[in-house]
């Protein structure tokens, strides 16, 4: 049976970012089939931008790049040629930066009214914090995510092990908004401007607790509810080999299965009894500490107990479930050779079954992309000689 077209096949995206939420967004769009052209600066100005490691963001799998000095009038004119043909533009500069370059939404809408223009920023395009610098941890801090997480040894909020704000509150947020805008464009024929605020995305991630506070006046925090560590049935426990087991037991029948398997039947009726949570934790910890983690997983996981191992990176990349679903693939880099990475991960994305060539990011597609946009080869070569493009 032939495969259907990729969801974003035929969609061209100009991406002005190098790291962070906007780059995560571009990765999602590319993995849904969009043509993503990264817009960077010429080598003489590379110090102005963070350059990711060669493996980051899927090693630029399937992406193209152009390098253009947007402060030069001829560079800006070349970019406008690309924008005339683009479907989506993503940028992550400080609010007002694109306007100074003459590349604000209003400038580009005039030449391409079908363009979906997405600005990603930490705090949005307006308001008192709009121009404030920040990173993932800052957005998780102001959005309540850190406050509702269990405290570390010194009493402070933990530093999460993954960039939750960049990936979910920013990148997925932006990609979802862009795809919704493309659906609207299919009905109206018009593009639109999207103001993606990462901190507001964190508010959505934390909305169960924020809405609880707004509705009841009860201020959530670490240990206030089952999902923030109040009960022994939703926690992590050390095993005899020093590895850790996670319990995510919420429903009563799962809890009963767990108590019986651990030999803790005395707590069958006490899952949500606040008065005895310390005792339950003590007995769960003592029982789990008697055996290695993988023995517990082998016994408990099939027994409807909602357990899972706390994996290291070395372990998770060899996990049988992930292997069976083809979530890890191989790429072939011109300099760094063959290595593994996470395949396109979301539903509806195509997962390659063979090694995928990835680009040498020291090389660009500038000449071909600009020529495709109708700029003459002699003009491109002249700009390249002067360092306007690379």
Tally of CA atoms within 13 A in the half-sphere of 88 that contains its CB: 32
Known catalytic residue at 224: no
* Catalytically annotated residue among 135, 225, 294, 319: 135
Q: Is 362 helix (H, G, I), strand (E, B) or coil?
A: coil
DSSP designation for 46: G
Q: How far is CA 339 from CA 44, 55, 243, 329, in A?
A: 30, 9, 27, 8
Catalytic residue status for 135:
yes
CB-based contacts of 304: which residues, under 8 Å, 6+ apart? 253, 254, 257
Spatial CA neighbour of 183 closest among 4, 7, 369: 7
Structure tokens of 133?
């610098």
Q: Taking Cα atoms as reference points, which of 289, 266, 260 lies closest to residue 279?
A: 266
Q: What is the DSSP letter of 53?
A: -
Q: Which DSSP string corresponds to 88-99?
A: EEEE-SPTTHHH
β-bridge mates for residue 309, sequence order: 245
> How many Å apart are CA 63 and CA 361, to the nearest integer?
10
**Catalytic site residue from 15, 69, 136, 166:** 166
Whether the CB-CB separation of 125 and 135 falls below 8 Å is answered with no
Helix (H, G, I), strand (E, B) or coil at 25: helix
State the DSSP string of 57-82.
Answer: HHHTTT-EEEEB-TTSHHHHHHHHHH
**Nearest CA-CA partner of 165 in 127, 125, 121:** 121
DSSP tag of 165 = I
Catalytic residues: 135, 166
């Amino acid at each position: 049976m032939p495969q259907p077209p990729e969801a974003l096949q035929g969609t061209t995206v100009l991406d002005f970012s190098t790291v962070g939420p906007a780059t995560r967004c571009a990765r999602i769009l590319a993995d849904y089939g969009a043509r993503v052209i990264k817009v960077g600066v010429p080598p003489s100005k590379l110090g102005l931008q963070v350059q990711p490691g060669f493996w980051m963001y899927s090693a630029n799998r399937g992406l193209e790049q152009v390098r253009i000095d947007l402060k030069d009038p001829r560079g800006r004119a070349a970019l406008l040629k690309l924008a005339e043909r683009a479907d989506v533009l993503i940028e992550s500069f400080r609010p007002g930066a694109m306007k100074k370059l003459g590349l604000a939404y209003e400038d580009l809408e005039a030449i391409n009214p079908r363009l979906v223009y997405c600005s990603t920023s930490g705090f949005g395009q307006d308001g008192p914090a709009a121009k404030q610098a920040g990173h993932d941890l800052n957005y998780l801090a102001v959005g309540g995510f850190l406050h509702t997480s269990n405290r570390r040894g010194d009493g402070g909020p933990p530093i999460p092990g993954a960039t939750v704000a960049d990936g979910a509150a920013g990148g997925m947020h932006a990609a979802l908004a862009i795809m919704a805008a493309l659906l609207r464009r299919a009905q109206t024929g018009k593009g639109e401007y999207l103001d993606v605020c990462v901190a507001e995305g964190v508010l959505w991630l934390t909305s169960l607790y924020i809405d609880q506070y707004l509705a009841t006046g009860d201020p959530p925090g670490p240990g206030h509810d089952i999902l923030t560590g109040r009960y022994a049935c939703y926690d992590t426990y050390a095993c005899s080999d020093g590895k850790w087991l996670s319990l995510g037991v919420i429903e009563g029948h799962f809890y009963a299965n767990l108590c019986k398997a651990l030999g803790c039947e005395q707590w069958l009726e006490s899952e949500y009894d606040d008065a005895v949570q310390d005792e339950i934790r003590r007995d769960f910890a003592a029982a789990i500490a008697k055996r290695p983690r993988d023995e517990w997983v082998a016994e408990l996981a099939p027994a409807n107990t909602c357990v899972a191992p706390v994996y290291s990176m070395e372990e998770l990349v060899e996990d049988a479930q992930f292997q069976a679903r083809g979530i890890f693939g191989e790429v072939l880099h011109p300099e760094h050779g063959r290595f593994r990475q996470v395949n396109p991960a979301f539903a509806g994305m195509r997962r390659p079954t063979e090694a995928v060539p990835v680009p040498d990011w020291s090389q660009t597609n500038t000449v071909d992309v600009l020529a495709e946009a109708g700029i003459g080869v002699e003009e491109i070569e002249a700009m390249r000689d002067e360092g306007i493009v690379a």
